[in-house]
Amino acid sequence: MDAPDTLLITLTGKDRPGVTSEIFSTLARTGVEVVDVEQIVLRRRLVLGVLVTVPRDWERLRDAVEETAAGLGMSVEVERGTGDNRRRPGGRSHVTIIGAPLRATDMAAVAGRIAESGANIDRIERMARYPVTAIEMHVSGMEVAELRPMLASEAARLGIDVAVQPANLLRRGMRLIVMDVDSTLVQGEVIEMLAAHAGCEAEVAAVTESAMRGEVDFEESLRARVALLEGLPATALDDVYDNLELAPGARTMVRTLRRLGYRFAIVSGGFSQVTDRLAADLGIHYARANELEVVDGVLTGRVVGEVVDRAGKARALREFAGDIGVPLDAVIAIGDGANDLDMLNAAGLGIAYNAKPLVRDAADTSVNVPYLDAIMYLLGISREEVEAADAEAGIVTPAPPVER
């Protein structure tokens, strides 16, 4: 079947209410069919593109559109051609770029790598402008498995975050998010906070850092660190919990994604006496962690039951996904240490959050800005949408900087 003749009408100028209505009212009088439409507003400047079938007297339509545009104080181009928009090639993906700041050189480098690979940027939109800038590109023509490592190396060179995900229905469905706790959901390490109460913080911190780098066995390191806490009053757990600081944006992310039906789990190499309370406070559906043995109100220096280690975290993730009934491809895992690697690899999307180099290199993508809610931009949720939902619920968010 021959491709139909079409007209591409491109209108540009200062945005105001009624512009789109006026153009379509003019087109309506000619009896054309609308084939495609794209409209954006940037700094109150509108760009409207309309692809329509060609009427018999297309010059008359062109004159009418030009007259309407002139009356609106806008510029218009009418271009005649053949066919609909080309079919987008396979390998469609969402590429999210996050920077603080995001420089023109960063965008040029990412766009350049995409172009060099033979892929095409079909659409670009802003997801957030503060406290980080997040831009999403819709890319076609290259499989995610090829695009992801290429852009990851570019992101590392530039010092920005670039996430590449397949463009499919999973992004719009209910998903399970499984998070590490220490240095991910909360700032700092709970065991080090307990060690500060016991007077052995430096010794415990050194072992923790080595374990997170993957230099020593996690279970062995955990038991050695917990042994140093022997004799510590259990009330220290309450003091530590009361002084926990969540990662910036943690409450916003959980609150927003719960509205959309997401499920949450925390899986920690830390301690259930803290994580269970944290889960209840945030409305997190599942929690799995180690249990400190307490006898007569003091810590014995031992853990009760099986240790939640690297493999245990991955098992918990699979268990939670099975309980909810979501495929592993619909699971997002977030962590920062070597103990999280199996969990990150088991998930459909593994995110290294302010992680050690070993973890960043192994994860699907990394987020290195200190805002946990930046992960929502990877899911196609803009900051404007989050703030609008919060406003409807009576939650006040800080005012953004004024755009100029």
Catalytic residues: 180, 182
Decide the pairing of beta strands 263-271 and 286-295.
Answer: parallel
Q: What is the dihedral of CA 379, 375, 254, 351, to 10 degrees?
A: 100
Residue 316 tokens read as: 């918990």
Residues 339, 313: contact at Cβ < 8 Å?
yes
Neighbours of 227 (CB within 10 A): 13
Tokens 């960043």 label which residue? 360
391 phi and psi angles, rounded to 5 deg: -60, -40
Q: Which helix (H) or strand (E) holds 111?
A: helix 104-116
Partner residues linked to 401 by β-bridges: none
Question: For residue 227, what are the CA distances in angstroms to 132, 214, 220, 273, 360?
Answer: 42, 20, 11, 17, 31
User: Peptide bond before 131: cis, by omega within 30 degrees of 0?
Assistant: yes
- Dihedral angle over CA of 147, 153, 156, 159, nearest 10: -60
Residues linked to residue 287 through DSSP beta bridges, in sequence order: 266
Tell me which amino acid residue 4 is: P
How many whole angstroms separate alpha carbon 267 and alpha carbon 333?
10
Q: Is the dihedral of CA 215, 212, 286, 177 positive or negative?
A: negative
Beta-strand runs (E) in 100-148 = 120-128, 133-140
398: preceding bond cis by omega (within 30 degrees): no
Q: Are 261 and 281 in contact (CB under 8 A)?
A: no
The full DSSP string for 266-321 is EEEEEEHHHHHHHHHHHT-SEEEEEEEEEETTEEEEEEESS---HHHHHHHHHHHH
Q: What are the phi and psi torsion angles at 47 (to 5°)?
A: -125, 115
